[in-house]
Amino acid sequence: MELQRLYPRPGTTTPAELISRLDLGSRAPAGRPYLVLNMVSTLDGKAALQGHTRDLGGEADRQLFHNLRTQADALMVGAGTVRAERYGRAIKSEELREKRTEDGLDPDPLMVIVSGRLDLPADLPVLQDPDSRVVIATAAGHELGGTRAQIEYLRTGDDLPLLLARLREEKGVRSVLCEGGPTLNAHLLAANLVDELFMSVSPKLVGGKDALTIVAGRPLLDPAEAELLWLLKGDGDLFSRWRIHGV
């Protein structure tokens, strides 16, 4: 799968080459991990089709998505997304696990599920996978029954700065890849916790006035500013990497 790099330094590359040795953890500020969002939207800015992302991106997007998962200590996701997308084990092949170890990371990332109410079906594939290490950050007091993953509960309520501080301090997490969804993104941006955004744009127009965009919830009091770091094209999609400047 070839990608055309448009900015900076026009040329060609591949998803595996592009998304290697990003060394995100070395950029971690004091007291929390470096946090990178990865999202996809249509040309008209919509973030889901019939409640899912699976028909949004093409093959290049799929490969970039899986390569990005090789670059962070932890993979974070909101309860709505984990339910809608039926998350399973994060790293899908031995080859990708080897890539993580070559890049100095554990073979599998720590999976962090943010769920205030802890309303998660126990039959989610990731919760049934004994090889998955999962932290569930929640305001609820109970535990899920009938799960097989290695689960730990962090009772951090809705306090995302506290969650990130505890991930760094107690779990040694220096980099987090967050795959949304839009509600969790809104909370992270409002708390000034987002350092970068990887954004794929799929060449589709889908309409729908109430359709989700990549950031939901209340408007941000101060818009977050972004600076373009990369722009690429591949398989009909556009791929970009942005530095987010907090307010």
Ligand X SMILES: NC(=O)c1ccc[n+]([C@@H]2O[C@H](COP(=O)([O-])OP(=O)(O)OC[C@H]3O[C@@H](n4cnc5c(N)ncnc54)[C@H](OP(=O)(O)O)[C@@H]3O)[C@@H](O)[C@H]2O)c1
Nearer to ligand X, 77 or 91 (CB): 77
Q: Which of 25, 187, 189, 244 binds ligand X (CB under 6 A)?
A: 187
Shortest Cβ contact with ligand X: which residue? 80
Residue 48 interacting with ligand X (CB under 6 A): yes
Size (the chain), residues: 247
Q: Which of 179, 195, 196, 237 binds ligand X (CB under 6 A)?
A: 179
138 and 118 Cβ atoms separated by less than 8 Å: yes
Q: Smallest distance from the beta carbon of 53 to ligand X, in angstroms?
A: 5
Contacts with ligand X by CB under 6 A: the residue count is: 31
Decide if residue 80 touches ligand X (CB under 6 A).
yes
Binding mask 6-45 for ligand X (x = CB under 6 A): ---------------------------------xxx----
- Site membership for ligand X, residue 109 (CB under 6 A): no
Render the burial of 165-176: b for 16+ CB within 10 Å, e for the rest: ebbbeebebbbb
Between 3 and 82, CB nearer to ligand X: 82
Binding site for ligand X (CB under 6 A): 39-41, 47-48, 51-53, 78-81, 84-85, 114-117, 119, 158, 160, 179-184, 187, 212, 214, 216
